[in-house]
Structure 1
Amino acid sequence: MKALLKTITTSEWRFVCWLTLAVLALTGLPYLYGSWSAPAGTTYDGLHALAPGDVPVYYSYLYQIKAGEVLVKDLFTDEPQPLGTFNVWWFLVGTVARWLNLSPPLAFQLSRLLMIPVFTAVAYVFLSYIFSERAQRQLALVFLLFSSGLGVYAAGLLKVASVTDAETYRWPIDLWITEAVTFNALYQTPHFIASLTLMLLIFLLTLLAWERHRVSYAVVGGLLALFYFNFHPYYWPVIFGVLGLYLAIKTWQAKKILWWQAGYLGLVFLISLPSIAYHVWLLSSSPVIGQRALQNVTAISPWPFVLIGYGLLWPGLIVGVFYAWKKQHMNHQLQFLLVWFVVAVALIYSPLPFHSRYTQGLHVVLVTFTVVGLSGIWDDCRLRLTPGRFDFWFRNPTLWLLLFLGFFGASNLYSVARDLYYFSAKPAVVEPIFYLPNDAVVAMSWLGGQPAGTVLAAEIPSKFLPGFSGHVVYAAHDDETLYFEAKQPLVFWFYADNKNDQAKQRFLLDRQISYVFYSAYERELGSFNPAGKDYLELVFDTPTAQIYRVNR
């Protein structure tokens, strides 16, 4: 590792720092603007248009850890949970939030921003392992941080409501799958950034252990994998599938068993095994965790939307492989990346239910081979074109910037511009999702100091109540709430009218619901009025949000 780091010059690290600052600005300013532009009487909740559904779940983890819990529970479902989960990532972030007295949204965003420099540094070291030339390293980092697909152009031709059903989300993956594109991960959540960072580190350390016969690298790689699989167990098939297949190919090429390499890989596996075993035990021991895993299917869009989602990076892969073979530059680093590509695609379309998750890292492979292809085209055209034409096409920074923004960076710019538009124009369909009434936030905070109990509320308050109060909600999230499709209609039924009080009282008692939340969100569901109900007692009141305790 020291020898690899010595190949990186001070000017290269300066370049990495400038790109890091650009990413921090591009992914941080929209959130600041969203908070700054909050309408009077509202609070910005930290969400944006890209995959907002799971962020409140992470808030709930942070709230629990900040409150002193070590094992977090699923607060989005009302079934009894004797077992919690130790999630090392959110435990660390939540502990810092407790020390610094940070709110869950603020701790979430600060940890995301802090992880970006860590990722860019690790990514550049990994790219330096792949490329020896400075120009290729820097170009690869630019592509890794800012490139995506052509989904923005397809979005103008498609209407998502007309092409999507309950089972399949037919939409370009660069516009909705966080793991698929590096920029999406950097823009979205800290633990996805940590996930990709750890994946690169584990691969790099294991490869270096094989090459240099350093058991210490394997030990550190195993410890990182132990940490990694605790909070993202989905990726052990990626890590060991890629490394195992690559080792098998190398064994076949060597025509002998590579005992040292096999031993190092076995060491990485054995050190990380407790985290894998822990999750297997949780799945078998907790009905809630087991059922949640069964219904937490992360499907991917059909293959045309995958092609669109990576756009010109697909031709970049083909051209890069062509030039690597043509010039006999298909070294072991590029061979490893090809193995990574094969395993990733196999897992994406495997029977395992985590298809979209297995797109993580695929962007790294596509970007790397795209840079190999561009380097090959550069070399060929320098020989075939006149100096004037070559300078116009290849030494023209303005042209390259425009081409990059138009054909590689447009979807990322779209994601940022869409958020800025939503925060500025505040369309009626999205404003209630991003901006919570202050009265509702105050009510949630007050509830955090009350005895634990299940809360009945509309969908949007239910998403934030766990992260703002630490209370369990009846129905809120289609993955985290067990049997959500059966529970959600009952929420609509409860708030739909002001009748059937006996049935509603029985429902509250049978489901052991302790609190009924009543705000503008619940009023939109119907004419139910909790005031005067003998089975409900007003315990917290603001002009627009009330909390009622269920009398037993």
Structure 2
Amino acid sequence: MPERRFTLLIGALALVVASVPYFVGWLLTPAGSVYTGLTTNIDDSDVYLTWMRHVASGAFFQHNQFCAEPEARQTLLFNLWFLFLGTLSRVLPPILVFHLARILGGAALLWAVARLLALAVSDERARKLAFALVCFSAGLGWLIPGNPSLKPFAFAKATIDTFQHEAITFQSLYYSPLFAPATFAMVVFITALLRSEQTGKLRDTLPACLAGFLLGNSHTYDVIPLFAVAFTWRLASDISQRKVSVSGWLRLIVIGAATLPSTAHIAYVLKTDAIFRARANETEPTYTSLLPWVLLGYGFLLPLGILGALQKTATPGRGLLICWAVVGVAVAYLPFEFQRKLLMGPHIPIALLAGIGLSTLAGKLSGDFPKILALFGVLITLPSNALLLLRDITRLQNNESGTAYRPYLSSDEVSALEWLRAHAPPDSIVLVAPDPTSHTRFPNTPLMPHLAAVVPAHTRCISYNGHWSETKAYGRKLGETRRFFSQSTNDSQREALLVANKIRYILYLNRLAGADLGDYVPVDWAMGKQPGALHTVYTGSEVTIFEVSADD
């Protein structure tokens, strides 16, 4: 099959397969429910939808709608990618824009990989196999019994292919409207770096300059591994050639200068914006798994990649690919609390080198055996990704996801959100009651206010107790929420919380009234004995919304 047709077919297949769980989720929508359009990591996806909706309402700066503090409305933070997506959301539903961004961003990423392959790998069969491995491969997580990553927050000893979505290309295509476009920019950066080295022309660094600038603004973490790779490769090239390439360092300085403004802006916001800084400092650290678990997350790609790295003649970009693979993993152990976020990217050079290695093995055979080996080599890297999709599809049938959040909302919950969107003034602060069923979907965790993450994504309101990483002092606010909705709390304590935090609405789940939840027993006043400071503004079969009197 001609290479161009092969690339289009395999790329399209990857994007379609990565979209299957969302399509199944829509088909399986139970009667009386509304599909959110999400299957996994729903809370983080709600953050993306919130950013888009906020821009669609006319905002430029990225206010934190998960923080009740007034400072959250005084930020200078903005995200160019989500400004674009938010602008589209003025004419299209945000969830549709979410999936268009995911699919088109994924298509752009795979196109960029094909361009890198054309530049870095001279053998056609190697390019085809490498592209297929980029699209579909993962590691050996599926083979490990009781993989710790299947348990909540047990990531220190967990294979990255079972939970670290941005570390595996296919999972980036599946999960996020942010990861695939960010990885696209990384590939563009690396490709321009290689091309400018081959041609010696400064103008060929322009794509790297643009990619670095955009990454500095939209996914700043990625600047660290990219420049670590570029610096190491430049230094290694000089050492191997026994001379300093002044023009090579000049090109790297130009790229750095282009990346600096957006990166410096984020650094400035981090220093001056108390909410942004608190969010970064108070969030649970995301440390990288121990190295054996990272390597197991690449699985069979590693021995194939080592073999590919030894093939000098077939790989003009061999040195840069090796450098990206090795340094890209190494930087994930730098002393940052966001370590594992730096694992975005290395899967691509590892898969490219593995494609060369697999092609080398196939070339030693005759007859139909090269094709059989090539097909088998790709298929043995698929199971972790296939099981990930199957797991999420299975969870849909029980209205579950990877966390305590539900892919399906009841029709009444959606009606309550629509009431808030239509009637609540912008930036009204909403306190959301715990979901009395959350502990059944995500065992061993306390009751979670499921709709607290959904409120900013579907309305113009602020969620007081909204998101584990976006909400400042989330642990304290979650505890306040549980006390507020406990029968052991008196009304004066509840009133004090409402007044001190300028809470305008209380979103109460009626199922709390009949729940037997130990300490988290529903409050009497929510069923009609509320103090004078509250009055009912929305009543549904499952949700009641109370408004806090402005006079109180």
Q: Normalised by the size of structure 1, how large is the TM-score?
A: 0.89
List per-residue Cα deviations over 1:411-435 (Å, max 9, x = no partner): 1111111122222454699896111
Aligned partner (choices 233, 237, 244) of residue 257 of structure 1 = 244
Which residue does 2:346 correspond to in 1?
Answer: 362
Amino acid at match of 1:470: R
List per-residue Cα deviations over 1:218-262 (Å, max 9, x = no partner): 233212221221111111111211111111122223333212111
Aligned partner (choices 368, 372, 378) of residue 362 of structure 2 = 378
Aligned partner (choices 212, 218, 224) of residue 237 of structure 1 = 224
Which residue does 2:465 correspond to in 1?
Answer: 475
Aligned partner (choices 8, 13, 17) of residue 17 of structure 1 = 8
- Distance in 2 (CA, whole Å) between partners of 1:223 and 1:400 is 37
Deviates more, 1:448-457 or 1:191-200: 448-457
List per-residue Cα deviations over 1:442-461 (Å, max 9, x = no partner): 21122123123211113210
Within a 5 Å distance, the mapping from 1:129-278 to structure 2 comes to: 129-154=119-144, 156-158=145-147, 168=155, 170-278=157-265
- Distance in 2 (CA, whole Å) between partners of 1:301 and 1:439 is 41
Which residue does 2:20 correspond to in 1?
Answer: 29
- Distance in 2 (CA, whole Å) between partners of 1:429 and 1:278 is 34
What is the CA-CA distance between 1:331 and the residue it aligns to? 5.6
- Distance in 2 (CA, whole Å) between partners of 1:454 and 1:353 is 30
Asked whether the equivalents of residues 35 and 44 of structure 1 are also in contact (C-alpha less than 8 Å), the reply is yes
- Distance in 2 (CA, whole Å) between partners of 1:45 and 1:522 is 23
Amino acid at match of 1:336: L
Within a 5 Å distance, the mapping from 1:41-440 to structure 2 comes to: 41-49=32-40, 51-80=41-70, 81=72, 82-98=74-90, 100=91, 102-154=92-144, 156-158=145-147, 168=155, 170-296=157-283, 297-321=285-309, 323-324=310-311, 328-329=312-313, 333-379=317-363, 381-382=364-365, 390-391=366-367, 393-396=369-372, 401=375, 404-405=378-379, 407-424=380-397, 426=399, 433-440=406-413
Report the secondary structure of 2:547's partner residue. strand
List per-residue Cα deviations over 1:166-197 (Å, max 9, x = no partner): xx454321111111100010001122111111
Amino acid at match of 1:251: D
Structure 1 residues 44 and 255: alpha-carbon distance in aligned structure 2, compared to 1, 3 A threshold: same
Question: Identity, % of aligned pairs?
Answer: 25
Amino acid at match of 2:547: R
Which residue does 2:429 correspond to in 1?
Answer: 454
- Distance in 2 (CA, whole Å) between partners of 1:161 and 1:127 is 34
- Distance in 1 (CA, whole Å) between partners of 2:243 and 2:504 is 66
- Distance in 1 (CA, whole Å) between partners of 2:33 and 2:477 is 29
Within a 5 Å distance, the mapping from 1:479-494 to structure 2 comes to: 479-494=469-484
Deviates more, 1:450-459 or 1:425-434: 425-434
- Distance in 2 (CA, whole Å) between partners of 1:15 and 1:298 is 38
- Distance in 2 (CA, whole Å) between partners of 1:329 and 1:103 is 50
- Distance in 1 (CA, whole Å) between partners of 2:371 and 2:420 is 62
- Distance in 1 (CA, whole Å) between partners of 2:125 and 2:385 is 23
What is the CA-CA distance between 1:87 and the residue it aligns to? 0.4
Amino acid at match of 1:130: A
What is the CA-CA distance between 1:330 and the residue it aligns to? 8.4
Structure 1 residues 119 and 169: alpha-carbon distance in aligned structure 2, compared to 1, 3 A threshold: same
What is the CA-CA distance between 1:114 and the residue it aligns to? 1.8
Structure 1 residues 432 and 374: alpha-carbon distance in aligned structure 2, compared to 1, 3 A threshold: closer
Asked whether the equivalents of residues 37 and 95 of structure 2 are also in contact (C-alpha less than 8 Å), the reply is yes
What is the CA-CA distance between 1:125 and the residue it aligns to? 0.8
List per-residue Cα deviations over 1:313-353 (Å, max 9, x = no partner): 222233333x33xxx54865111122212322221111022
What is the CA-CA distance between 1:287 and the residue it aligns to? 0.4
Structure 1 residues 269 and 160: alpha-carbon distance in aligned structure 2, compared to 1, 3 A threshold: closer
Asked whether the equivalents of residues 43 and 437 of structure 1 are also in contact (C-alpha less than 8 Å), the reply is yes
What is the CA-CA distance between 1:117 and the residue it aligns to? 2.0
List per-residue Cα deviations over 1:3-60 (Å, max 9, x = no partner): xxxxxxx9322212211221222122220220221111211112213x4331111011
Which residue does 2:442 correspond to in 1?
Answer: none
Amino acid at match of 1:191: L
Which residue does 1:443 correspond to in 2?
Answer: 416
Amino acid at match of 1:367: A
Structure 1 residues 182 and 350: alpha-carbon distance in aligned structure 2, compared to 1, 3 A threshold: same
Structure 1 residues 85 and 401: alpha-carbon distance in aligned structure 2, compared to 1, 3 A threshold: same
Asked whether the equivalents of residues 125 and 359 of structure 2 are also in contact (C-alpha less than 8 Å), the reply is no
Structure 1 residues 316 and 520: alpha-carbon distance in aligned structure 2, compared to 1, 3 A threshold: farther
What is the CA-CA distance between 1:463 and the residue it aligns to? 0.7
Report the secondary structure of 1:53's partner residue. helix
Amino acid at match of 1:463: A
- Distance in 2 (CA, whole Å) between partners of 1:441 and 1:367 is 43
- Distance in 2 (CA, whole Å) between partners of 1:490 and 1:57 is 22
Asked whether the equivalents of residues 62 and 76 of structure 2 are also in contact (C-alpha less than 8 Å), the reply is yes
The runs of 5 or more residues in structure 2 that have no matched partner are: 435-448
List per-residue Cα deviations over 1:106-128 (Å, max 9, x = no partner): 21012111222222211111111
Amino acid at match of 1:342: V
The runs of 5 or more residues in structure 1 that have no matched partner are: 1-9, 383-389
Q: Normalised by the size of structure 2, how large is the TM-score?
A: 0.89
What is the CA-CA distance between 1:70 and the residue it aligns to? 0.9
Amino acid at match of 1:540: Y
Structure 1 residues 411 and 162: alpha-carbon distance in aligned structure 2, compared to 1, 3 A threshold: closer
Amino acid at match of 1:444: L
